[in-house]
A and B are shown apart, each in its own frame.
Chain A
Amino acid sequence: LAKTTQPISMDSYEGQEVNITCSHNNIATNDYITWYQQFPSQGPRFIIQGYKTKVTNEVASLFIPADRKSSTLSLPRVSLSDTAVYYCLVGDRTGGGNKLTFGTGTQLKVEL
């Protein structure tokens, strides 16, 4: 079972770039890394997914080193509306099936 470790909280200001790093030392060969964003009283929302190197989409970039034991979510020029909890998940296969297990997440607070 691949466990993830993230900082509990981070603070930033509008317009800055925010990098949230997640450790997953026991990641399996077939596992992907996925990041979700959650606002209060809402379900999580998919941000980005990757397997290795770098992935970029319209909202974020994901950096994964060669050993894949960690990953970094990069949010360019954050705004107040990016204040949320960010979860790093690693694909987990158990008993022939698969499940998504959430860690503690990182509470990002963006201020003016």
Chain B
Amino acid sequence: GAVVSQHPSRVICKSGTSVKIECRSLDFQATTMFWYRQFPKKSLMLMATSNEGSKATYEQGVEKDKFLINHASLTLSTLTVTSAHPEDSSFYICSARVGQNTEAFFGQGTRLTVV
């Protein structure tokens, strides 16, 4: 199957700093990328959907100014957690797909810890 690479896999940052997470589709062009966050023993919660070259669509309750998403190319999307606080600590997962109703491929996730 296609490969989606997420970097970094783990990051620890100080409260108030910003953290950027990269999501790359290595062997296909992703027209759509999704960003999720997941708390322990909970399901994945969709944060936003991004299409290459356009602004991301955020889910209700997700602050777009805090979670900046950029999908500048068909193989790269980034999520920047700005002014991170301990409550932002979570497992962040990206996903990419070629088109509608095609299978989505997921990155390995990024464990963010804000101290």
What residue of chain A has the Cβ atom nearest to residue B97's Cβ?
A100
Query: B34: CB under 8 A from chain A?
Result: yes
CB-CB under 8 A from A46, the residues of chain B are 1, 103-105
In the assembled complex, how far is the CB of residue B99 from the closest CB belonging to chain A, in whole angstroms?
Answer: 9
Whether A104 touches B105, Cβ cut-off 8 Å, given contacts A97-B57, A99-B34, is no
B-contacting 9-mer, from A18-26, A36-44, A67-75: A36-44
Query: B68: CB under 8 A from chain A?
Result: no
Q: How many A-B residue pairs have CB under 8 A?
A: 61
- Interface residue total, chain B, C-beta cutoff 8 A: 28
- Interface residue total, chain A, C-beta cutoff 8 A: 25
| A91 and B57 contact, CB distance less than 8 A | no
Whether A93 touches B100, Cβ cut-off 8 Å, given contacts A43-B6, A99-B49, is yes
Determine the main DSSP class of A at the interface with B.
loop
CB-CB under 8 A from A36, the residues of chain B are 106
A-contacting 9-mer, from B14-22, B71-79, B80-88, B107-115: B107-115
Query: B51: CB under 8 A from chain A?
Result: yes
CB-CB under 8 A from B34, the residues of chain A are 99-100
Which residues of B come within 8 Å of A, CB atoms?
1, 4, 6, 32, 34, 36, 43-46, 49, 51, 57, 91, 93-95, 97, 100-101, 103-109, 111
CB-CB under 8 A from A63, the residues of chain B are none
- Tell me, in angstroms, the Cα distance from A34 to B100 when the chains sit together: 12
What residue of chain A has the Cβ atom nearest to residue B1's Cβ?
A46
CB-CB under 8 A from A103, the residues of chain B are 43
| A42 and B103 contact, CB distance less than 8 A | no
| B43 and A102 contact, CB distance less than 8 A | yes
A43, A98, A99 interface centre (most CB from chain B within 10 Å): A43
| B44 and A41 contact, CB distance less than 8 A | no
CB-CB under 8 A from B6, the residues of chain A are 43
Q: Which residues in chain A, 21-59, are within 8 Å of chain B measured between CB atoms?
A: 30-32, 34, 36, 41-46, 49
Whether A102 touches B105, Cβ cut-off 8 Å, given contacts A41-B91, A41-B111, A43-B6, is no
- Tell me, in angstroms, the Cα distance from A93 to B4 when the chains sit together: 23
